[in-house]
Amino acid sequence: MKHARVFGVNCFFAFVFFSAAALALAQESAQSPAVSGEKAPEDQLKMQTKKIGLVIHGGAGTIERSKMTQDREREYRAGLERALAAGYEILKQGGASLDATEAAVHVLEDDPHFNAGKGSVFTSAGTNEMDGAIMDGKTLSAGAVAALKHVKNPISLARLVMEKSGHVMMDGEGAEAFARENGIELVDQKYFFTQERWDALQKIKAMEKHRTGAAGKRIPITDQDRHGTVGAVALDKNGNLAAATSTGGTTNKRPGRVGDSPVIGAGTYANNATCAVSATGDGEYFIRATVGHDVSTLMEYRGMSLKEAAQAVLDKVAKLGGTGGLIAIDREGNMALPFNTAGMYRGYVDPNGEYVVEIYK
């Protein structure tokens, strides 16, 4: 069952104009009914020579329909749409993929529904610690941050680390001191409190107690309770790819745990020669499988398509025992959004500029 939602004029004739990018949409199940306004052939040509593209995700996991009210689903969809709009507006105006991915992730960080920034999950100590990264496919420049406690928008600090620190990766208090020096907004940990995330921590702690032998009933823990991540990948009109990822990590993680998001080559990777990738899921498995770089090298060294490479790497993650998903885009504008969980909050802009947002398989 498809849950694609399309904004704009629907026109079935537009099918014939669908570019290769749309046809190559990686997720087999995502043969979305997305259609678009009719375009003149010359417009199509222009679009093909200066293709732009944007894909985002808001985390993969056991997203249970039974627990998803209509209101709640509407809120998630609205958040994803806002993120798409923020990023796509930049691309449409000829802006850089780097700016587009940062803008999209920024919106998701500010939305309490997603596990990043404001909506970050809690560590076992009841604190919030955030990771993130951004990478520029043109120069292979990258910025990554880990174990941040007070940075309102980790993705913007990652960008700053890339551009001004002389380093690629910074963490903890050192990273926050650098943020302070450079006017990045710091907030009290209270800012990151959301009742839902707090309840998820209590649920997992109760479950742990149960597991270790103490009395208590079995409490179902969904992936949704455990983790989540937000991310964006984009192609701009100059053919430059970029990837950005931000996360609060996993609920009940040990303080100091760093996931795959800030590990360049794992949760975040971009290379103009191949693709841009942002991952979400059991971070430990995604690090061990070097997910982002593996998608890239399967394309570059093995000649796989983006879709084949993305699926092959996700299969490797599954073989190790990990669940999750990833989003990817290549220099032709082909997109891939595979996941091996029940759902993944995700969205993309189709070749005709329509926003498509999906949650379930």
Provide the minimum distance between the beta carbon of 243 and a second copy in the complex, in angstroms, as a whole number: 13
Contact between residue 221 and residue 61 where contact means Cβ atoms under 8 Å apart: no
Within residues 267-296, the interface with a second copy by CB under 8 A covers 269, 283-284, 287-290, 293-294
Distance CA 163, CA 16 (A): 43
In the set 229, 268, 280, 323, the catalytic residue is: 229
Residue with tokens 């001004």: 164
- HSE-CB of 188 using CA atoms within 13 angstroms: 3
By CB under 8 A, residue 228 contacts a second copy: no
Q: How far is CA 228 from CA 59, 183, 196, in A?
A: 4, 28, 13
Annotation says 268 is catalytic: no
Binds a second copy (CB under 8 A): choice among 6, 24, 68, 168 = 168
CA nearest neighbour of 196 among 121, 280, 108: 121
Provide the minimum distance between the beta carbon of 58 and a second copy in the complex, in angstroms, as a whole number: 23
> Do β-strands 355-360 and 5-6 pair in parallel, antiparallel, or remain unpaired?
antiparallel
283 class by beta-carbon count within 10 Å (0-12 exposed, 13-18 middle, 19+ buried): buried
Stretch that binds a second copy, among 11-19, 100-108, 200-208, 260-268 (CB under 8 A): 260-268
Stretch that binds a second copy, among 93-101, 197-205, 222-230, 256-264 (CB under 8 A): 256-264
Binds a second copy (CB under 8 A): choice among 169, 275, 327, 337 = 169
User: Judged by CB, which is closer to a second copy: 47, or 279?
Assistant: 279
Binds a second copy (CB under 8 A): choice among 166, 183, 213, 220 = 166
User: Judged by CB, which is closer to a second copy: 78, or 320?
Assistant: 320
User: Judged by CB, which is closer to a second copy: 259, or 347?
Assistant: 259
Sign of the torsion formed by the C-alpha atoms of 168, 171, 177 and 179: positive
Provide the minimum distance between the beta carbon of 166 and a second copy in the complex, in angstroms, as a whole number: 8
Binds a second copy (CB under 8 A): choice among 174, 189, 216, 315 = 174
By CB under 8 A, residue 134 contacts a second copy: no
Residue with tokens 């990273």: 175
By CB under 8 A, residue 153 contacts a second copy: no
Task: Determine the distance from the C-alpha atom of residue 74 to the mean position of all C-alpha atoms in its chain, rounded to a whole number.
Answer: 19
Within residues 308-327, the interface with a second copy by CB under 8 A covers 320
By CB under 8 A, residue 178 contacts a second copy: yes
* H or E segment and range at residue 171: strand 169-171
User: Judged by CB, which is closer to a second copy: 166, or 220?
Assistant: 166
Distance CA 316, CA 322 (A): 9
Stretch that binds a second copy, among 135-143, 199-207, 216-224, 351-359 (CB under 8 A): 135-143
Q: Which tokens sit at 39?
A: 């375009």
By CB under 8 A, residue 48 contacts a second copy: no
User: Judged by CB, which is closer to a second copy: 126, or 172?
Assistant: 172
Site size toward a second copy (CB under 8 A) is 47
Binds a second copy (CB under 8 A): choice among 171, 225, 332, 354 = 171
By CB under 8 A, residue 19 contacts a second copy: no
Binds a second copy (CB under 8 A): choice among 55, 298, 326, 337 = 298
First to last CA, the chain: 7
Q: What is the DSSP string of 182-201?
A: TT--B--GGGG--HHHHHHH
Contact between residue 97 and residue 234 where contact means Cβ atoms under 8 Å apart: yes
Residues 6+ apart with CB under 8 A from 268: 133, 134, 135, 142, 144, 231, 243, 244, 245, 261, 262, 277, 278, 279, 292
User: Judged by CB, which is closer to a second copy: 3, or 288?
Assistant: 288
Using CB under 8 A, list all residues that contact a second copy: 123, 129, 140-142, 144, 146-147, 165-178, 253-259, 263-266, 269, 283-284, 287-290, 293-294, 297-298, 301-302, 320
**Catalytic residue list:** 229
